[in-house]
Amino acid sequence: MKPARLIMTLFTAVTLSVPLASTASAAPETGGHHDTLRWAAPRGFHIGSAVAGGGHHETQPYPDPFTSDRPYRQVLGAEFSSVSPENQMKWEYIHPERDRYNFGMADAIVRFAKQNRQVVRGHTLLWHSQNPEWLEKGEFTKDELRAILREHIRTVVGRYAGRIQQWDVANEIFTDSGALRTTDNVWIRELGPGIIADAFRWAHQADPRAKLFFNDYNVESVNAKSDAYYALIKDLRAAGVPVHGFSVQGHLSLDYGFPGDLESNLKRFAGLGLQTAITEVDVRMTLQAGGVPTEAQLRQQADYYQRMLTACLNVSTCCSFTIWGFVDKYSWVPVFFQGQGAATVMWNDFTHKPAYDALRSTLAGRR
């Protein structure tokens, strides 16, 4: 993009975003704006965001974004047709003690989604990370552990039955070299790989309507890890296990090239009869001193977002594209990667980056 065009784009973005921000306190969170991502999206295609809260947010110097930041809620309701709890349905958050669940925030997100005519992606049921201490450190027999997982899945999936479109049942179960996580995943380590099929079966029993997914990072390309998923899912489906989808997270960095085979990779999973999705998109970058992205970085970032979205739109079974937060001030990236950031599509005042405009025009081009 030429500098003049970039300035125009930024200018347009600023002017377009003013009414959105200024109506934040007055308008209901109904998503009725005609210049939003969800409005631009083709029918049946869901454009989503993570709902900021829990996890890294708890150590940051701001209150819970989802419940406390009204302009944030306004944009979340207006722009997106799908929401994913960023942390609020993870074990440590929703099941903090063995005999106690904490449904408050997950309930609030599911309610918000209904009010705003959004679908929900549930995240997540079987994972090696963000498990409560009572689970990781408890000395349970195999039978007890199995019963704990079954009860958790029945309780959580059952509670939201009919209100969750897609569940990330199993998250990040393989290493980058395509080996099952047999050491750091408590379920696989203690109960063996057969527990994965059980988790899908239990989730399906608890909510037969929800589409059940495997979800991971570094599986955008055809590589050892995505090959491992391909082989596993093929076997599970041949055995009649209710696996319905494979999703790639899409945490990309400008420090690496774009995964040009994303579309063909999604297509091979579609070929197994699966739904596909891109579930946690962001594009981080190494920031110069001062922390402000250069115009070239913003252009390249917009290009990465656009190409990820296009890959999904080109695959008939890919109907869900979710960004992992939409505003830089709440992004996990600077907290986890020193010197990196600016990974989302909006500046801190909710004005639009070129990446936002790239997403919206790409969606509008497919209506």
184 near ligand 9MR, rule: CB under 6 A: no
With CB under 6 A as the contact rule, the residue among 30, 129, 288, 361 that binds ligand 9MR is 129
Choose between 11 and 62: whose C-beta lies nearer to ligand 9MR: 62
280 near ligand 9MR, rule: CB under 6 A: yes
Choose between 157 and 363: whose C-beta lies nearer to ligand 9MR: 157
- Integer angstrom CA distances of residue 159 from 85, 103, 122, 290: 15, 9, 12, 46
Active site (annotated) includes residue 144: no
Q: How far is the CB of 168 from ligand 9MR (least distance, A)?
A: 8
282 near ligand 9MR, rule: CB under 6 A: no
Choose between 36 and 87: whose C-beta lies nearer to ligand 9MR: 87
165 near ligand 9MR, rule: CB under 6 A: no
Q: Residue of minimal CB distance from ligand 9MR?
A: 55
87 near ligand 9MR, rule: CB under 6 A: yes
Choose between 11 and 336: whose C-beta lies nearer to ligand 9MR: 336
Active site (annotated) includes residue 280: yes
Choose between 124 and 301: whose C-beta lies nearer to ligand 9MR: 124
242 near ligand 9MR, rule: CB under 6 A: no
The catalytically annotated residue of 79, 172, 220, 263 is 172
Site for ligand 9MR in 258-277 (CB under 6 A): none
234 near ligand 9MR, rule: CB under 6 A: no
With CB under 6 A as the contact rule, the residue among 86, 92, 207, 328 that binds ligand 9MR is 86
Q: How far is the CB of 342 from ligand 9MR (least distance, A)?
A: 16
Site for ligand 9MR in 45-84 (CB under 6 A): 55-56
Choose between 56 and 146: whose C-beta lies nearer to ligand 9MR: 56
176 near ligand 9MR, rule: CB under 6 A: no
Buried b vs exposed e over 264-291: b needs ≥16 C-beta within 10 Å? ebbbbbbebebbbbbbbbbbbbebeeee
332 near ligand 9MR, rule: CB under 6 A: yes
Tokens standing for 202?
Answer: 């239990």
Q: How far is the CB of 215 from ligand 9MR (least distance, A)?
A: 7
Catalytic residues: 172, 280
Residues that bind ligand 9MR (CB under 6 A): 55-56, 86-87, 129-130, 217, 249, 280, 332
